[in-house]
Chain A
Amino acid sequence: MKFGILVNEGPYQHQASDSAYQFAMAVLAKGHEIYRVFFYNDGVNNANKLVEPPQDDRNITQQWSKLAADHGIDLVVCVAAALRRGIKDEILAPGFRISGLGQLVEAGIEADRLVVFGD
């Protein structure tokens, strides 16, 4: 099955990004496909490469980047939501790209299931 994933909350403040990441790993482990992960609302903060948690904590942004590198997953950040929050190309972590909300709608059209992680 082809999954789309929508992440609507920022890292650490809310569990949504962790849950979305764990869901993505489970999807791949079961042999399914991920069409795209789309980041919206405060979810755009997941793409900030300047994020630096304490060493004994998970680095959520790096987890996403590794997911993209290992499995070729398309990580898309909404441009309007990103600019509003100061997320720009110069601080974008590897594997992420900035694009429009049309990419979310397209994921809804093309994926068999679109799963939302938010508050």
Chain B
Amino acid sequence: MSDMEENEGGAEKVKRLMIVNRKAPYGTIYALESLEVVLIGAAFDQDVSLVFVDDGVYQLKKGQQTKDIGQKNFSPTYRALEGYDVEKLYVEQESLEVRGLATDDLLVPVEVLPSAKLGALMEEQDVVLSF
């Protein structure tokens, strides 16, 4: 792109990019397409973090079996995120608790934060995309 040159070093800008996942992994396509944004954000070497709130916490649930709904189980991708240097995964404590879930139920290590702390973390971001 022509404006890349006048934007010298533009490609090296690193922003804090937070992806907020709010929906169950299946039923709608939001979780799957959100994951694609995460991977591209990582490919652009941005400071990417992920948040899981509301039914979004189910995206990280162990033991997903999708054969009977005819869809691909994409949950192993969350375990591969570490390889893309995406290591900041936050789960809202209240969302886990009301669904009777604990960190042992999740596929990957996460940091569990109460909503007020998560709010503060969102405040620190440059870009917040919610799906």
How extensive is the interface on chain B, given as a class? Answer: 20 to 34
Shortest distance in angstroms between A57's beta carbon and chain B's nearest beta carbon?
26
- Chain A 92-104 interface mask (CB, 8 Å, partner B; 1/0): 0000000011101
Is A73 part of the binding interface, using a Cβ–Cβ cutoff of 8 Å? no
Complex: chain A residue closest to B127, CB-CB: A108
**Residues in A103-119 with C-beta less than 8 Å from chain B:** 104-106, 108-110, 114, 116, 118-119
Q: Given contacts A109-B10, A109-B15, A114-B127, are A104 and B40 in contact (CB under 8 A)?
A: yes
Name the residue on A nearest B44 (C-beta).
Answer: A105
Does A109 contact B44, Cβ atoms closer than 8 Å? yes
Nearest-neighbor residue (CB-CB) of A8 within chain B:
B131
Chain B residues, Cβ within 8 Å of A81: 33
Known: A109-B10, A109-B44, A109-B46. A80 touches B129 (CB 8 A): no
What is the CA–CA distance of A102 and B126 in the complex, to the nearest angstrom?
17
Q: A40-B33, A105-B17 are in contact. Are A110 and B7 (CB under 8 A)?
A: yes
Total A-B pairs in contact (CB under 8 Å)? 49
Partner of A102, one of B29, B33, B44: B44
A30 to B129, CA, bound (A): 24
**Shortest beta-carbon distance from B25 to chain A in Å:** 15
The reply to whether A118 and B130 form a contact with Cβ atoms under 8 Å apart is: yes
Interface string of B116-131 (1 = CB under 8 A from A): 0000000000111111
Cβ A41 vs Cβ B40 within 8 A: no
A87 close to chain B: CB less than 8 A: no
Q: Please indicate which of the listed interface residues B13, B41, B46, B127 has the most CB atoms of chain A within 10 Å of its own CB.
A: B127
Collect the chain B residues with CB atoms within 8 Å of residue A102's CB.
Answer: 40, 43-44
Interface centre among A8, A80, A100, A101, by most B CB within 10 Å? A101
* A77 at the binding interface (Cβ < 8 Å): no
Smallest CB-CB separation from A80: which chain B residue?
B36
- In the complex, A108→B131 CA distance in Å? 15
Let me know if A41 and B37 touch, CB within 8 A.
Answer: no
Known contacts: A114-B127, A114-B129. The answer to whether A105 contacts B46 by CB under 8 A is yes
**A→B interface (CB under 8 Å):** 6, 8, 40-41, 80-81, 100-102, 104-106, 108-110, 114, 116, 118-119
